[in-house]
C-alpha cells in the first residue's frame, strides 16, 4: 500500500469506527432538541375553537394530546387566549346585515367577520380543560380592544399596537419559537409571521395545529409562512427524550 492509499484506508477505518461507537441518540438524526433559549407557544386552545364552541375549528380538540406530549421537551411555554370584549369589531353581530364569515373593511383594512366568540370571562373563552401545561410561565390575552382584532400574539390587526410578547421573550433571552394551536391559518400563522418579523427563529408544528380553511386560507397561510422563513415541523421531529 503506498502512503496515499494508506491514508485513505485509515480515514475510512476511523469513520467506520466513529459510526459504530456513536450513541443511539445521535442516530435519531435530524431530531430537534429545544434548548434553554427556545419557547413553545400554545395559541388559543380554548373551548370556543373546539367542538361545541362558538367558532369550532374542525377536529380542533385533536391538538390537545399532541401539545401535552411535546410540552415536556420545553423549559419555556407561553399560552395565548383570544379574549374579546362583547360587541367586538370582529363579530358579525356588531353590524346590521352582516353574516359570519363575510368580510368588511375596518380602519386598518379587511376584516373577516366571525360569530361571537371568546368573550372575556365566559366558559367559551376558557382554556381547554384537558390542556396540561403546568410549567407554562405566561398567558397572554389578545383581542380585548373593542375596535381592533388581534390574530397575532405579538401585534394587533392595526399593525401598530403591540401586545408586549416580543419584549417579554427578548428580555428572557429566548431566540427560537415553536408555534402550536388554533387556528393554523389565522392566529397560528399571524403569530408565526410576526415572530419572524420580530427576529425570532420560528417553526410551526403542523400536527399540533388545526386550520379553519376559509376559501383556501390554509394553503395560502403555509405559502406566506414559508416565504417568511417559518419552518414546518411535525411533532415527531422533536427529540422528547
Cα–Cα nearest to 80, from 148, 135, 150, 33? 150
Which three cell numbers, joined as nine digits, stand for 209? Answer: 395545529
List, edge to edge, every strand of the sheet that includes 38-43. 138-142, 77-82, 38-43, 176-182, 201-210, 231-233
For Zn ion, the closer of residues 80 and 203 by Cβ is 80
Output the smallest distance, CB 114 to ligand VGL, in A: 5
Active site annotation includes 48: no
Q: Is 194 in the site for Zn ion (CB under 5 A)?
A: no
For ligand VGL, the closer of residues 34 and 211 by Cβ is 211
For ligand VGL, the closer of residues 49 and 222 by Cβ is 49
- Beta carbons of 100 and 115 less than 8 angstroms apart: yes
Applying CB under 6 A, among 61, 82, 124, 194 the residue interacting with ligand VGL is: 82
Q: In 3-state terms, what secondary structure has residue 193? A: helix
Binding to ligand VGL by CB under 6 A, coded x per residue (else -) over 167-196, reads ---------------xx--xx---------
**Separation of alpha carbons 204 and 6, rounded Å:** 48
The active-site residue out of 82, 142, 149, 185 is 142
H/E stretch holding 6: helix 3-21
Binding to Zn ion by CB under 5 A, coded x per residue (else -) over 65-84, reads -----------------x--
* Subset of residues 127 to 146 that bind ligand VGL, contact rule: CB under 6 A: none
Output the smallest distance, CB 176 to ligand VGL, in A: 22
Q: Which among Zn ion, ligand VGL, none contacts residue 194 (Cβ within 5 to 8 A by kind)?
A: none
Output the smallest distance, CB 50 to Zn ion, in A: 14
* Subset of residues 34 to 63 that bind ligand VGL, contact rule: CB under 6 A: 44, 49
Active site annotation includes 142: yes
Tell me whether residue 120 is exposed, middle or buried, using C-beta atoms within 10 angstroms of its C-beta: 0 to 12, 13 to 18, 19 or more: middle
- Beta carbons of 190 and 230 less than 8 angstroms apart: no
Q: Is 114 in the site for ligand VGL (CB under 6 A)?
A: yes
Helix pair angle (189-197, 217-227), 10° resolution:
20
**Separation of alpha carbons 210 and 56, rounded Å:** 10
Question: Which residues pair with residue 80 across a beta bridge?
Answer: 43, 140
Residues at the site binding Zn ion, with contacts judged by CB under 5 A = 82
- The residues annotated as belonging to the active site are 44, 142, 187
Residues at the site binding ligand VGL, with contacts judged by CB under 6 A = 44, 49, 82, 114, 151, 182-183, 186-187
Amino acid at each position: 500500500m503506498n502512503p496515499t492509499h494508506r491514508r485513505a484506508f485509515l480515514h475510512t477505518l476511523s469513520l467506520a469506527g466513529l459510526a459504530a461507537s456513536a450513541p443511539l441518540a445521535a442516530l435519531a438524526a435530524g431530531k430537534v432538541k429545544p434548548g434553554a433559549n427556545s419557547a413553545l407557544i400554545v395559541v388559543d386552545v380554548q373551548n370556543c375553537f373546539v367542538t361545541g364552541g362558538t367558532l369550532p375549528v374542525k377536529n380542533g380538540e385533536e391538538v390537545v394530546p399532541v401539545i401535552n406530549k411535546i410540552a415536556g421537551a420545553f423549559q419555556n411555554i407561553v399560552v395565548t387566549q383570544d379574549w374579546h370584549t362583547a360587541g367586538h369589531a370582529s363579530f358579525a353581530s356588531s353590524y346590521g346585515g352582516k353574516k359570519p364569515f363575510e368580510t368588511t373593511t375596518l380602519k386598518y383594512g379587511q376584516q373577516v367577520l366571525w360569530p361571537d366568540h371568546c368573550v372575556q370571562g365566559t366558559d367559551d373563552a376558557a382554556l381547554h380543560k384537558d390542556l396540561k401545561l403546568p410549567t407554562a410561565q405566561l398567558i397572554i390575552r389578545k383581542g380585548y380592544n373593542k375596535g381592533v382584532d388581534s390574530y397575532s400574539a405579538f401585534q394587533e390587526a392595526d399593525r401598530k399596537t403591540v401586545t408586549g410578547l416580543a419584549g417579554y421573550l427578548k428580555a428572557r433571552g429566548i431566540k427560537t419559537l415553536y408555534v402550536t394551536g388554533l387556528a393554523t391559518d389565522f392566529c397560528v400563522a399571524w403569530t408565526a409571521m410576526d415572530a419572524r418579523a420580530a427576529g425570532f427563529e420560528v417553526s410551526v408544528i403542523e400536527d399540533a395545529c388545526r386550520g379553519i380553511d376559509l376559501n383556501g386560507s390554509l394553503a395560502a397561510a403555509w405559502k406566506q409562512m414559508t416565504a417568511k422563513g417559518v419552518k414546518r415541523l411535525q411533532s415527531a421531529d422533536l427529540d422528547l427524550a
